[in-house]
């Protein structure tokens, strides 16, 4: 059974267990039998009890959309639907109602999103890149890397063949006239230390800002307010192909490339962090997943997933080698070994895309909109 779990994990990473010197798998312990893994996983998703009741609480426009889509499904006519609307018009509410109804009818609906964060809020949700094996670098000859005989192909032939597009006309970001950051923090995180161990307090709160330096500054201010045991992790930075040491580690430590964790990562028990890499799409450990630190050791941190179908699941994360993206335009290549996380009290606006954050503040100390936007 352990080997079967390892096999599934490797398959999610596009690897084969036969590549490694491990014992043969006894298929009698595999509950999926001859059913392709992808179909077995989707068929095992159970309709959430709360989601089952959503179809009875839809507003007039949601109900009309729900009825039209379900009519196309029940009549087997097929269809293509695009649901559009500004933020906070409960599009996700409608999607969850549809998925729950389809699931209760023992049908398979493949829920895919454009980002890992959005996948967290969908039952069984996965990113389109993960589900359809879409290459990250697209060119004229790029194509999805699965065959007609693969489990994914069989899943798509078995599932409900409908695409639900989503549009967001988000033009909202107002800040108050009060420029005092401390007042904003007190507003979004009232009585922080009295509630720091309460998951229901930490996860629905965040401060959003468009620039990394502002986000880092807010997070450092927040972690200094946060009580509890502290651990400081330093990254190990090394320039590639630099035998003459033109780029010493002291210099590399001062860089903070976009998408990489800071050189000095200060964590405390119970603090909020954000994952910066797609680690395990099957468990929805994707870029943007929000986590809470539960324990830490010298070389690992014990974290708990705070949203999605895997909420409450605890995992260990080690340091991993990281590389800046190609568009950073550094005149050299270097490797950054650090935990792929950042503090999550404050986050970039684009990281919040697809998330529901009931208590959100926006920090804009300087004008950020160009003329005409």
Write the CATH number for 68. 3.40.50
Mean pLDDT computed over 355-360: 81
Residue 361 above 80 pLDDT?
yes
Looking at 134, 168, 202, the residue that finishes a domain is 168
Q: Which of 168, 194, 209 is the last residue of a domain?
A: 168
352 with 207, same domain?
Answer: yes
Note whether 145 and 271 are same-domain residues: no
Same domain for 220 and 298:
yes
Q: Which of 143, 168, 193 is the last residue of a domain?
A: 168
| Rounded-to-integer distance, Cα 101 and Cα 71, Å | 12
* Residue 368 domain flag: no
Q: What is the largest CA-CA distance in the chain?
A: 70
Residue 10 lies in a domain: no
Domain that holds residue 321: 181-362
321 in the same domain as 207:
yes
Residue 248 within any structural domain of the chain? yes
Total structural domains within the chain: 2
Question: Do 76 and 224 sit in the same domain of this protein?
Answer: no
Say which residue, 180 or 56, is predicted with more confidence: 56
Nearest to 181 by CA among 216, 215, 218: 218
pLDDT confidence of residue 281: 66
Domain presence at residue 125: yes
CA distance 245 to 79: 60
Say yes or no: 152 and 245 in one domain.
no
Co-location of 300 and 225 in the same domain: yes
Pair 248, 160 in one domain: no
Query: What is the per-residue pLDDT for 45?
Result: 77
**Does residue 139 lie in a domain region?**
yes
124 and 149 inside one domain: yes
* pLDDT tens per residue across span 336-354: 888 889 898 998 887 777 6
Model pLDDT, residue 302: 92
Q: Indicate the pLDDT class of residue 207, thresholds 50, 70 and 90.
A: very high
Q: Provide the phi-psi class of 146: left if phi over 0, else alpha when psi is between -120 and 50, else beta.
A: beta
Residue 267 bridge partners (DSSP): 231
Nearest to 294 by CA among 321, 277, 317: 317
Q: Is residue 7 part of a domain?
A: no
Q: Has residue 373 got a pLDDT over 70?
A: no
Let me know if residue 371 belongs to a domain. Answer: no
Per-residue pLDDT at 178: 41
Same-domain status, 265 and 150: no
Find out whether 273 and 285 touch, Cβ atoms under 8 Å: no
C-alpha span between 345 and 216 (Å, rounded): 10
User: Are 97 and 69 a contacting pair, CB within 8 Å?
Assistant: no
Q: Which residue has the tokens 């729950």?
A: 100
Higher pLDDT, 333 or 231: 231
Per-residue pLDDT reduced to its tens digit, 130-145:
777 777 666 666 777 7
Residues 213 and 292 in one domain: yes
Cα–Cα distance, 64 to 66 (Å, whole number): 5
In a domain, 76, yes or no: yes
80-106 pLDDT, tens digit each? 888 887 777 788 889 889 988 888 888
Question: Taking 80 as the threshold, does the pLDDT of residue 312 lie above it?
Answer: yes
Residues 10-35 pLDDT 10s: 876 667 888 899 998 887 776 666 67
228 and 309 fall within a common domain: yes
Return the HEC string of the chain: CHHHHHHHHHHHCCCCHHHCCCCCCCHHHCCCCCCCHHHHHHHCCCCCHHHHCHHHCCCHHHHHHHHHHHHHHHCCCCEEEEEEECCCCCHHHHHHHHHHHHHHCCCCCCCEECCHHHHHCCCCCEEHHHHCCCCCCCCCCCCCCCCCCCHHHHHHHHCCCEEEEEEECCCCCCCCCCCCHHHHHHHHCCCHHHHCCCHHHHCCEEEEECCHHHHHHHHHHHHHHCCCCEEEEECEEEECCCCCCCCCHHHHCCCCCCCCCCCEEEEECCCEEEECCCCEHHHCECCCCEEEEEEECCCEEEEEECCCCCCCCEEEEECEEECCCHHHCCCCCEEEEECCEEECCEEEHHHHCCCCCCEEEECCCCCCCCCCC
């Amino acid at each position: 059974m352990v080997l079967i779990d390892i096999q599934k994990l490797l398959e999610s990473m596009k690897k084969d267990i036969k590549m490694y010197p491990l014992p043969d798998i006894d298929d009698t312990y595999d509950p999926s039998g001859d059913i392709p893994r992808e179909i077995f996983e989707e068929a095992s998703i159970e309709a959430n009890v709360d989601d089952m009741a959503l179809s009875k609480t839809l507003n007039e426009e949601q109900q009309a959309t729900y009825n039209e889509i379900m009519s196309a499904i029940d009549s087997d006519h097929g269809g293509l639907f695009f649901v559009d609307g500004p933020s906070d018009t409960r599009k996700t509410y409608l999607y969850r109602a549809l998925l729950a109804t389809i699931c209760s009818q023992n049908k398979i609906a493949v829920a895919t999103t454009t980002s890992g964060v959005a996948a967290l809020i969908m039952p069984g949700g996965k990113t389109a890149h993960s589900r359809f094996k879409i290459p990250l670098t697209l060119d004229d000859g790029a194509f999805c890397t699965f065959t007609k005989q693969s489990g994914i192909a069989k899943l798509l032939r078995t599932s409900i063949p409908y695409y639900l597009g989503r549009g967001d006309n988000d033009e909202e970001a107002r800040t108050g006239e009060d420029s005092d950051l401390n007042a904003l923090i007190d507003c979004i995180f009232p009585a922080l230390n009295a509630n720091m161990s309460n998951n229901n307090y930490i996860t629905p709160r965040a401060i959003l800002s468009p620039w990394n330096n502002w986000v880092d500054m807010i997070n450092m201010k927040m972690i200094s307010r946060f009580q509890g045991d502290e651990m400081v992790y330093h990254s190990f930075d090394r320039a590639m192909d630099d035998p003459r040491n033109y780029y010493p580690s002291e210099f590399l430590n001062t860089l903070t490339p976009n998408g990489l964790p800071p050189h000095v990562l200060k964590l405390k028990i119970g603090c909020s962090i954000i994952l910066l890499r797609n680690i395990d799409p099957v468990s929805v450990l994707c870029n943007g997943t929000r986590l809470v630190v539960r324990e830490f050791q010298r070389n690992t941190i014990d974290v708990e997933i705070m949203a999605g179908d895997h909420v409450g699941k605890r995992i260990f994360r080690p340091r991993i080698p990281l590389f800046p993206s190609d568009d950073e335009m550094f005149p050299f290549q270097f490797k950054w070994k650090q935990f792929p996380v950042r503090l999550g009290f404050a986050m970039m606006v684009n990281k919040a895309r697809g998330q529901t954050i009931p208590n959100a503040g926006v920090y804009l100390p300087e004008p950020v909109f160009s003329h005409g936007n």
